[in-house]
Structure 1
Amino acid sequence: MIRALTGFSTRRPWRVITVWAVVGILLALMGQALVFRVTHTDSAGFLPPEYDAAAALRVAREEFGAEPDANALTVLVARRDGKPLQGADRKRVEEVTRELNSARVEMPWTEEQVRGLSEDYSQVPRVTVVTTAPDGSFALLGARLRGNSTDPGLHSVYRAFHDRAEREFGEAGLRTGFTGGLADVVDGADAERTTQTVVGLVMVVLIVLINVLVFRSVLAAFVPLLAVSVVGGAATGTVVGAALLTGLELDPGTPSMIGTVLIGIGVDYFLFLLFRFREELRRRPEEHHRLVAADVAGRVGTAVTSAALTIVAAFATLGVATFGQFRVLGPSVAVSVLVMLVASLTLMPALLAVAGRKMFWPSRILSKTERTGPASRTGELVARRPLLVLLASAALLGALALGTAGVRMDFGTGGTPRDTAAAATAREIAGALPAGVSDPTTVYVTADDGRPLDPAGLDGLRRALSGVDGVGEVAAPVLGTGRDAARLDAYLTVDSRSQRARDLVAGPVRQAVREATPAGTTAHVGGTAAVFADVATAVDRDLRTVFPVAAALIALILVVLLRSLAAPVVLMLSVGLCFAATFGASVLVFQHLGGEPGVNFVLPLVLFLFVVALGTDYNILVSDRLREEMAHGGPARAAVARAVRHTAPAVATAGVVLAASFGSLAVNADASTRQLGFATALGILLSSFVLSLLLVPAAAALLGRGMWWPVRGARSRQDDIRSAGERNAGLPAPYEGEEPPRSRPVPDYPRKLNRT
């Protein structure tokens, strides 16, 4: 199947390239236009229904008309001269509030939005006066704008509303400030826009520069990146289209995660092909480049397929998670990697077939004899001192793994940069009112038999909540539309997004609610702090489930692909140690040295999947070459040295490129993204340089052909035929020197091939 795909692609390269260009660009455009229709920003919506915060959200929607895409804003209104608000000022605040509450805000259409595909967020906002500071220094308004908070279209509507409110209040000599929800998102995006643009350009330049330095070629530097960009867009479009058809809602971070993953692994797969293509062209100078491309694509395609399937399997295990954010992320990444795999077996071989030896122009490396370099010296070191290399590699990884001691999970949202206008407004509000006033913790009470509730009957619950240390004030009960449900807003004295708020809600607040809820009613605690407290519980349960399931599935795939029991054990032990080392180093950098509350709650799971899956990628490539070299006969250690010599440049270059792709996330202002970028980049570097080039080859040198037990010494039929043919022809044993040129005709090539 693999050789059939690669063979067709190298025989009909222009057809394959044309199909990918047309389909890829169309899918990319569709995905870009529709992605915000399938993303979902409410974390509570990803919780299973049995969790308390999810039940509270359900009551809020059914009884109080809460909208899943409603974005709350807090608007501060104060006098420009800093004096307390007077009676005339308060009257003007109420007048402007009524005007804002009845005026439609039109969405300014920009180049980012496509009419007919992009959502039109034009709307009449809901604006109400919430409270006034005890010292009268400012009034607070609550506003709601419906829509996806990550969509640039809604950002435009927010800016239009912001400017109108600022203008209306400014005419009365009042100043405004905006914070909370959408204001935080927009201000954070504006503050990071320049940084992200620069980082993206630096990443692209770095990838191109690495390829230029390695291949000394223009095409080899740009073609992989261009091809992977098209395929990445096609993969995103495929995921978005699948979500539209199935009704799934994606997490806002999923599309960017897909893009980062695919750029990295796509360039990696292309590099695997390029290195082997260059190696074979140097050995077979008289053979037509399309024949060489077909042979190389078939060989490398097997390893690439195996590597891609391990990633697919690893992320597919997220389908058993209870937290919806994980359950959606897993299949999305898996589908994207499958699209990249198809491109690796079709588009990439087609590009090699078209470019041929010009792929490495203007370099003259094809006409030069392969020289001894760092790769050769590394292979000789591993073959000569395998036990020393194995122990040193394990000691390094083990030392880093010690950093996991005392690890704490941080369930914070990452926040926004402290120098934004939204952050400054939040600090001003916190100086006069409880920290949680703009984001209350809400208790929803429902009657079990559907009878109307009496607000007076909830006084006991209100007093119990008010008596909890950390709760500043509890508002009077508000009845729902059916009068069989009530809402009590509790304003915490700490930031609702902090760890203290989550501990407070998960412990004393919920305990007080359980003890003071009137008979015949049921109460649920909702709000930001409650949501993340429940997310912590769901993630902890998922970690205990997904880890063993993913490890077992990847091990099973390795057994099938490598046709061995010993090799998968070596690979799984090595990547497990690499994961522990990477996680330990991350804890050391961010928690112990950086002073952060802990590592982000998603880091262990996502890091495990990336390090195990992507680390196995490189190990599969190296193991495939180890098996191929050992199948030729001769001492096992000599085979290990040859395998490292041939694979080290590809693995090292691919590792640096993939690490750079993920490392670009490490400069993000969001703490969780920053940690994920650093940890994944470090894990990939350890996987490529320590595991794949040192630890695994050293283990293979010590085990010899026992590495492939129980099929010890087995070789493929193709290797037997090739070795027999070379012996019968009186040729020297393979790899004693360079393999002599050989012609291997491929059937069904058009006759005109030799004239092209």
Structure 2
Amino acid sequence: MIRALTGYSTRHPWKVIALWAVLGVVLVALTPTLIARVTHHRTGDFLPRSYDSAAALRIAEEQFGVNPDATTVTVLVARSDGKALSPADQKRVETEAAKLARHRVIMPKEDDGPRFLLPDHSQTPRIAPAMTAPDRSFELLSVQLAGNPSDTGVQGVYRTFRDAARAQFSESGMRTGFTGGLADSVDTADAHETAAKVGSALVMGFIILLNVLAFRSAPAALLPLIAVAMIGGVAVGAVAVAAMLTGHKLDAGTPNLINVVLLGIGIDYLLFLLFRFREQLRNRPERPAREVAEEVSGRVGTAITSAALTIVAAFATLGLATFGQFRSLGPAIAVAVLVMLLGSLTLLPALLAAAGRKMFWPSKALRHKPGEGRAARFGALVTRRPLTMLTASVALLAALAAGLTGIRMDYGRSDFGDRTAAAATAAEISRALPAGVSDPTSVFVTAKRGGTLTTGRLNGLHRALTQVKGVGQAAATVLNKDHRAARIDLYPTADPQSQQARDLASGPIRDAVARHTPAGTTAHVGGTAAVFADISSAVDHDLRTVFPVAAALIALILLLLLRSLLAPVVLMLSVGLGFAATLGAATLLFQHGLGNPGVDFTLPLVLFLFVVALGTDYNILIADRIREEMQRPGPARPAVARAVRHTTPAIAMAGLVLAGSFASLATTPGNEQVAFALALGILLSAIVLSLVLVPALAALLGRSIWWPFRPRPTAVGHSQHRTTTPAPEPDQVMAEMSQAHSTGARRPADA
């Protein structure tokens, strides 16, 4: 199957290139509309229905008409001269708010992409008075806009509304401030816009520079990157189509994560192909480049397929998660990686076949074979002092893993600082009103068996809730139209995003509800703090479930791939130590060093899957090459040295590229922890684990590492090894072995 795909692609390269180009244009054009239809913006929507806050969300939607797609912006209106609002001022605020509520906000023309391909977010906002400060220093308005706060179209609509409201109130001698999730996102994005663009440009420039330095060729540096970007665009579109067909919902940040992941692994696969393609062109200058491309693509395609399926299998375990954000991320990444795999087996080989030797123009590297360089000296060092290298690498990883002491999970928004206008407005509100006034914790009460409710019947519950320590104020009880449901909004004194607010919602407030809910009714606690308290429970459950299942599945893949019992254990232990070291380093930096409340609650699971799956890929490449070299005659240590020599350039460069791709996530506010941890984890996996720890262990254990099926030197390999000077490349040896024998080692992709 693999050789059939790569063979067809190299024999008909222009047909394959044209097909991918058409798919790329169509799906990339449709992706914004498709993504808008399959994303959730409320984290609580990903909770199972059995959780208390999820039940509260359903009641809010079904009984009180809360729009599940709405996002709320709190607008502060005050006099420009700082004086207290007079009755006339408050009347003027109501009048201006009514005018704004009658005007449709049009999506700005400057949004990226053709207008006819983008979803139209133009809308008329719902505006209602919320609260007045006790000292009448300001009045708050609640503004509802429909759409995902992460959607650039919704953000554009908010900017238009904000500017219009600011200008309109200014004409009346009023100043305005805006806060809430959408306002926070827009202010933060605007503040980081330049850094994001510069960061993305630097990462792309870094990748191109590495390719130029490695291949001394403009086509090799640019053409494949365009191909990887095209495959990535098709993959995101395919994920959106799959989600729409299956009814799954994606988190708003999933498409951006997919783009970064695919850029990294796509370039990894590309590098494995390019290094082997160049090697074979050097070894066999008399052969047509298209034939070499077909042979190399088929050989490397096996390793690429194994690597990709490892990632797919790891993320498939997220299907066991209870938290929907994890459960939707797994299939999304799996589909995207499968599309990248298909592109790596078709489009990339087609490019090699179409470009041929011109892929490496104007470099003259194809005319001569390189001598032994730094990679050879590094391999000799690792195998000459394996115990020292092993001890040093384990000591480094253990020191970083020690940072796990006292680790805590942070379920709040990342700290973007207090310099944005939205943060300043929130601080001004909290000086006069409870911090939770713009994001209350709500108690929903419903009558059983078709009964009805009265406010008097709920007075005891309302009184008990107001007496809960940490509740600054409680709004009056509100009944729905048929009096079968009621809502009591509570305004905690703590920031709704803080651990204190989550503990309050999940502890004292729920305890008070349980004790004072009237007979014949049921009650549920909702709101941001309650949602994240429930997410904490769901994530703890998922970590205990997904970790062992993913580890067992990856170990099984290694067992089948390497045909050994001991080698998979060695690789899994090394990757596990790398995971602990990476998470420990993130804890040291962000929790202990920068004073954050903890590490992001998604970090352990995302880090486990990415570092274990991708780190295992690099380990597979080095282990497979070690096995191949050990099939040649001679001691084990020189075989390991040769394997390190041939794999170091590809693995080191692939690790740098993938780490750079993950580092680009840091330009997106709120992803700093994920960017740091993933970049560090990949570097540790590629350099410390794959090029030092695993080879050092192999040098110490020798051929015993493949117990119980130790590779034995072959006569063919021996003959080839001693008849030529310099010795033929391992690929040539293995190619001739495969012609002479019906069995042989799996082709590696790392030289």
Worse overlay, 212-221 or 646-655:
212-221
CA distance 1:315–1:714, shift in 2 (3 Å): farther
- Cross-structure match for 1:146: 146
Q: 1:58-457 counterparts in 2 under 5 A?
A: 58-112=58-112, 114-115=114-115, 117-457=117-457
Corresponding position of 2:702:
704
Q: Which residue identity is paired with 2:698?
A: A
Question: Counterpart of 1:639 in structure 2: which amino acid?
Answer: A
Q: Matches of residues 652-671 of structure 1 in structure 2 within 5 Å? A: 652-670=652-670
Which residue of 2 is the match for residue 546 of structure 1? 546
Amino acid at match of 1:213: L
User: Residues 434 and 110 from structure 1, CA distance in 2 versus in 1: closer, same or farther, beyond 3 angstroms?
Assistant: same
SS at 1:44 equivalent: helix
**8 Å CA contact 1:34, 1:117 repeated in 2:** no
In the aligned structure 1, how far is the partner of 2:138 from the partner of 2:2?
69
Q: Aligned partners of 1:391, 1:240: CA distance in 2, in Å?
A: 47
Q: How far off is 1:454 after superposition?
A: 1.0
Residue number in structure 1 paired with 2:748: none
Distance 2:22 2:111 in 1: 22
2:723 corresponds to which of 725, 728, 731: 731
> Whole-Å Cα distance in 2 between the matches of residues 62 and 570 of structure 1?
54
Q: CA deviation at 1:379?
A: 1.0
- Residue in structure 2 matching 1:689, options 681, 687, 693: 687
Q: Could you tell me whether the CA contact under 8 Å between 1:188 and 1:417 is conserved in 2? A: no
Residue of structure 1 in register with 2:743 after alignment = none
Cα distance in 2 for residues equivalent to 1:305 and 1:387: 33
Counterparts of 1:630-645 in structure 2, within 5 Å, are 630-645=630-645
What does the per-residue CA deviation read over 1:183-212, in whole Å, with 9 as the maximum and x for residues that have no partner?
222222222221111111000000001111
Q: CA deviation at 1:394?
A: 1.4
Q: Deviations over 1:424-480 (max 9, x none)?
A: 111111111111111110000111222110101211111111111111001110001
Select between 688-697 and 123-132 the one with higher mean Cα deviation. Answer: 123-132
CA distances 1:210-257 after superposition (whole Å, capped 9, x unpaired): 111122111121122111100100100100111122221110110000
Bigger mean CA deviation after superposition, 194-203 or 112-121: 112-121
More displaced 10-residue stretch of structure 1: 365-374 or 533-542: 365-374
Q: Offset at 1:161?
A: 2.0
Deviation track 1:78-133 (CA, whole Å, cap 9, x = no partner) reads: 11111001121111112222222333323334453555553222222211111111
Task: Please state how far the C-alpha of 1:743 moved relative to its aligned partner.
Answer: 9.9
Structure 2: gaps (5+ residues): 740-751
- 2:32/2:119 contact within 8 Å kept: no
* Counterpart residue identity of residue 693, structure 1: L
* 2: CA distance, partners of 1:561 / 1:743: 19
Q: For the Cα contact (< 8 Å) 1:36–1:150, is it kept in 2? A: no
Find the aligned partners of 2:726 and 2:704 in 1 and give their Cα distance. Answer: 22
- Give TM-score scaled by structure 2 length: 0.95
Write the distance in 2 (CA, Å) between the matches of 1:568 and 1:738: 24
Alpha-carbon separation, structure 1, partners of 2:733 and 2:533: 65
% identical aligned pairs: 61
Is the CA contact 1:417–1:669 (under 8 Å) kept in the aligned structure 2?
Answer: no
Distance 2:648 2:579 in 1: 21
CA offset at residue 726 of structure 1?
4.6
Q: Is the 8 A contact 1:169 1:175 kept in 2?
A: yes
Cα distance in 1 for partners of 2:284, 2:734 equals 6
- In structure 1, C-alpha distance between the alignment counterparts of 2:198 and 2:149, rounded to whole Å: 24
Partner Cα distance (2:618, 2:217) in 1: 24
Indicate the SS of the match to 1:77: strand
Alignment partner of 2:709: what SS?
A: coil
Q: CA deviation at 1:686?
A: 0.5
CA gap 1:167/1:667 in 2 versus in 1, 3 angstroms? closer
**Corresponding pairs, count:** 739
User: What are the within-5 Å matches in structure 2 for residues 485-524 of structure 1?
Assistant: 485-524=485-524
Given that 2:720 and 2:728 are in contact with CA atoms closer than 8 Å, whether structure 1 keeps it comes out as no
Query: Amino acid of the residue matched to residue 414 of structure 1?
Result: S
Match of 1:754 in 2: none
382-391 or 520-529, larger mean C-alpha shift: 382-391
CA contact (8 A) 1:33 1:113 kept: no
Q: How does 1:572-583 map to 2 (within 5 A)?
A: 572-583=572-583
RMSD: 2.2
Instruction: Give the Cα–Cα distance (whole angstroms) in 1 for the partners of residues 707 and 25 of structure 2.
Output: 46
CA contact (8 A) 2:218 2:360 kept: yes
The reply to whether residue 463 of structure 1 matches residue 463 of structure 2 is yes
Kept in 2: contact 1:286–1:741 (CA 8 A): no
Q: Which residue type is aligned with residue 723 of structure 2?
A: L
Kindly tell me: are residues 741 and 692 of structure 1, through their superposed partners in 2, closer, same or farther at Cα, counting changes over 3 Å? closer
Please tell me whether the aligned partners of residues 287 and 742 of structure 1 are also in contact (alpha carbons under 8 angstroms): no
Q: 1:714 to 1:246 in 2, by over 3 A?
A: farther
State the match for 2:675 in structure 1. 677
Residues 540 and 739 (structure 1 numbering): CA distance in 2 closer, same or farther, change over 3 Å?
Answer: closer
1:32 Cα deviation from its structure 2 partner: 3.2
2:160 aligned partner, one-letter code: A
Q: Is the 8 A contact 1:34 1:118 kept in 2?
A: no
1:113-161 CA distance string (max 9 Å, x none) = 5555532222222111111111111111111111222222222222222
For residues 409 and 312 of structure 1, do their structure 2 counterparts lie closer, same or farther at Cα, with a shift above 3 Å needed?
same
2:744 aligned residue? none
Change (3 A) 1:287 1:86: same
CA contact 2:571–2:694 (8 Å) conserved in 1:
yes
Query: For the Cα contact (< 8 Å) 2:492–2:501, is it kept in 1?
Result: yes
The one-letter code of the counterpart of 2:687 is F
Structure 1 residue 738: Cα displacement? 8.6
Task: Determine the structure 1 residue equivalent to 2:473.
Answer: 473
Distance 1:218 1:98 in 2: 60
In the other structure, the counterpart of 2:749 is none
Alignment of 1:554-633 (within 5 A): 554-633=554-633
Whether the aligned pair in 1 keeps the contact of 2:445 and 2:524 (CA below 8 Å) is yes
Q: What is the rounded CA distance, in whole Å, between the counterparts of 2:152 and 2:663 in structure 1? A: 25
CA–CA separation in structure 2 for the residues paired with 1:400 and 1:741: 42
Deviation at 1:41, TM superposition (A): 0.6
Pair 743,686 (structure 1): closer, same or farther in 2 beyond 3 Å: closer
| Deviation (angstroms), 1:417 | 4.3
Contact 2:375–2:649, Cα closer than 8 Å, also in 1: yes
- Matched residue type, 1:697: P
- Pick closer, same or farther for the CA change 1:650–1:172 going to 2, 3 Å: same
Q: Which moved more, 1:181-190 or 1:577-586?
A: 181-190
Is this contact kept in 2: 1:382–1:697, CA < 8 A? yes
Partner of 1:751: none
Q: TM-score if structure 1 supplies the norm length?
A: 0.94
1:75 touches 1:141 (CA, 8 Å); kept in 2? Answer: yes
Tell me the distance in 2 between the aligned counterparts of 1:741 and 1:539.
Answer: 50
Give CA deviations for 1:634-667 in whole Å, capped at 9, x if unaligned.
Answer: 2221111111000000000010111111112234
Query: For the residues of structure 2 that align with 1:194 and 1:412, how far apart are their CA atoms?
Result: 25
Structure 2: distance between partners of 1:552 and 1:104: 55
Equivalent AA in structure 2 for residue 686 of structure 1? L
Q: Distance in 1 between matches of 2:337 and 2:83?
A: 60
Q: Give the Cα separation in 1 of the matches to 2:617 and 2:429.
A: 51
In structure 2, the residue corresponding to 1:669 is in which secondary structure? coil
Q: Distance in 1 between matches of 2:148 and 2:403?
A: 39
